[in-house]
Amino acid sequence: MNERLLGLADDELVIGWRDSEWTGIAPVLEEDVAFSSIAQNEIGHARAVYRLLTDDPDALAFDRPLEEYRCAPLAELRLLDWAHTIARRWLYEEADRIRIEALMRDADPAVAGLAAKIDREEAYHRMHAELWHARLRDEPRFREAVRELWPYALGVLPPEQRAELAARVELGEVPAVERGTHTDELAELWEEMTSVRRSAPAGARW
Amino acid sequence: MTAPPVTESAVWAAFAEIPDPEIPVVSLVDLGVIRSVDVSDGHVRVEFTPTFLGCPALEAMTRALEEAVSSLGAEPEVEVIADDSWSTDRITAVGREKLRAAGFAPPAPREASAPNLVQLRTAVFRCPYCGSTDTRLENIFGPTPCRSLRYCESCRQPFEQFKTI
């Protein structure tokens, strides 16, 4: 199994799930719509990447034990305030862009082709993050949230891509919160995310 | 007596009758999401490109294509191609006119680079109701992944813009 692709797909699944938690309770209706749509796209990307790795994307997404997930801790965090939520979206999109651009040059045409498709969709997520970043960048609460989440954002990327991320977001490199360890919050999310599938009788179809 | 063999044009004609599940005024052929149809010995191979990867109608569209082929008495094989070969530029002229008539502004042409905020804010988008170009971006996102929300300053009507992909 390609660990880098699995990490990408798990990130997209889990952050999509976290984004969807704002459906119905975002501070303004426009953001309710935006976060729901972004979540749907991210989970769609996860499905497409899982399909490169397996014939049964649902099984790969939901039938693994917790410790086999390869998502970065940044995606897992349950963030309950808007400053942190926007800080994560902005940092995640900046990091995601760097790895997607690298995958667009992948030697495997299936990977490169899918990455190009994902990039076109992520462009709209980047615009959304860019608008919010421009609005909040001088707010102390937002700056504090970015500072807190920055070590997590570095952990989204492999070490060789981190200098580029630091340059893009104009922050200095610090020790990263690495992929491979999980936050306690993922366990709770996993329980919820897999509950329907675990409770369904074998062979159930939707 | 055996049925006459299925032809490629019969398959395309059947697909032209399949409405998009979310915007039923346009067909899957109007949307340009069917990349190829190959017919041989009663077997029909279809390459299908999703609009957005997270489109919830993906399975429904795949099934509709399979059923259309089966109803012609042929064996379907529908392959979903998840690459960058579909863009909104593939929506046909007929499809664009159907979208406009239903109150959706058709997508702007795709640029070489991925879309950005400057394009979204400065490109001319025409109101599908009154034709004015005095419109502004209201929300990058809309009721489905493929749509943005805009507002017409002339006739004061909100409308949906098909996103350029």
pLDDT digits (tens, 9 = 90+) for B43-79: 999 999 999 999 888 889 999 999 999 999 999 999 9
Rounded percentage of chain A residues whose pLDDT exceeds 90: 94
Work out the pLDDT band at B3, boundaries 50, 70, 90.
Answer: low
CATH 3.30.300.130 domain range(s) in chain B? 8-80
CB A20 within 8 A of CB A35: yes
Q: Is any Cβ of chain A less than 8 angstroms from the Cβ of B157?
A: no
Q: Does B142 touch chain A if contact means CB atoms closer than 8 Å?
A: yes
Cβ of A124 within 8 Å of Cβ of B115? The answer is yes
pLDDT at A202: 76
Q: Does A75 reside within a domain?
A: yes
Domain-located, residue A173 = yes
Dihedral angle over CA of B96, A129, B116, A45, nearest 10 = -60
Instruction: Please report, to the nearest 10 degrees, the dihedral formed by the alpha carbons of residues A26, B59, B145, A83 taken in order.
Output: 30
- Identify the DSSP state of B118: H
Q: What is the mean pLDDT of residues A33-43?
A: 97
Asked if B20 and B12 touch (Cβ cutoff 8 Å), the reply is: no
CATH top-level class for B8-80? alpha beta
- How far is Cα B109 from Cα B112, in angstroms, rounded to an integer? 10
pLDDT tens track for B14-31: 999 999 998 999 999 999
Residue B61, burial from CB neighbour count under 10 angstroms (0-12, 13-18, 19+): buried
* Kind plus residue range of the DSSP H or E element containing B150: strand B147-152
Question: Domain limits at A43?
Answer: 3-199
| pLDDT at residue B93 is higher than 60 | yes
Mean pLDDT lowest among A187-191, B3-7, B84-88: B3-7
Query: Looking at residue B113, what is its pLDDT?
Result: 86
In-domain check, residue A57: yes
Arithmetic mean of pLDDT, A165-171:
97
Window 18-77 of B: residues touching A by CB (8 A cutoff) are 52-56
pLDDT at A125 over 70: yes
Subunit contact A37:B142, Cβ cutoff 8 A: yes
To the nearest 10 degrees (0 to 180), the angle between helices A140-154 and A82-103 is: 40
Q: Do B53 and A117 touch (CB under 8 A)?
A: yes
From the number of C-beta atoms within 10 Å of its C-beta (0-12, 13-18, 19+), residue A196 rates as exposed
Instruction: Judge whether A206 lies within some domain.
Output: no
Residue A204 counted as domain residue? no
Q: Cβ B145–A121 below 8 Å, yes or no?
A: yes
Q: Does B2 score more than 90 pLDDT? A: no
Chain A touched by B117 (CB under 8 Å): yes
pLDDT-derived band of residue B90, with 50, 70 and 90 as boundaries? Answer: very high
Residue B124: which pLDDT band, with cuts at 50, 70 and 90? confident
Contact between chains at B114 and A123 (C-beta distance less than 8 A): yes
Provide, as residue numbers in chain B, all residues whose Cβ is less than 8 Å from the Cβ of A131.
117, 140
Type and span of the H or E element at B126: none
Mean pLDDT across A189-197: 94
Among B41, B90, B33, B88, CA closest to B64:
B33
CATH of the domain at A146: 1.20.1260.10
Q: What is the mean pLDDT of chain B?
A: 93
Q: What angle do CA B146, B148, B150 make, to 5 degrees?
A: 155
Query: Looking at the domain assignment, is residue A205 inside a domain?
Result: no
Closest residue to A41, CB basis, from B52, B83, B138: B52
If one counts the domains in chain A, the total is: 1
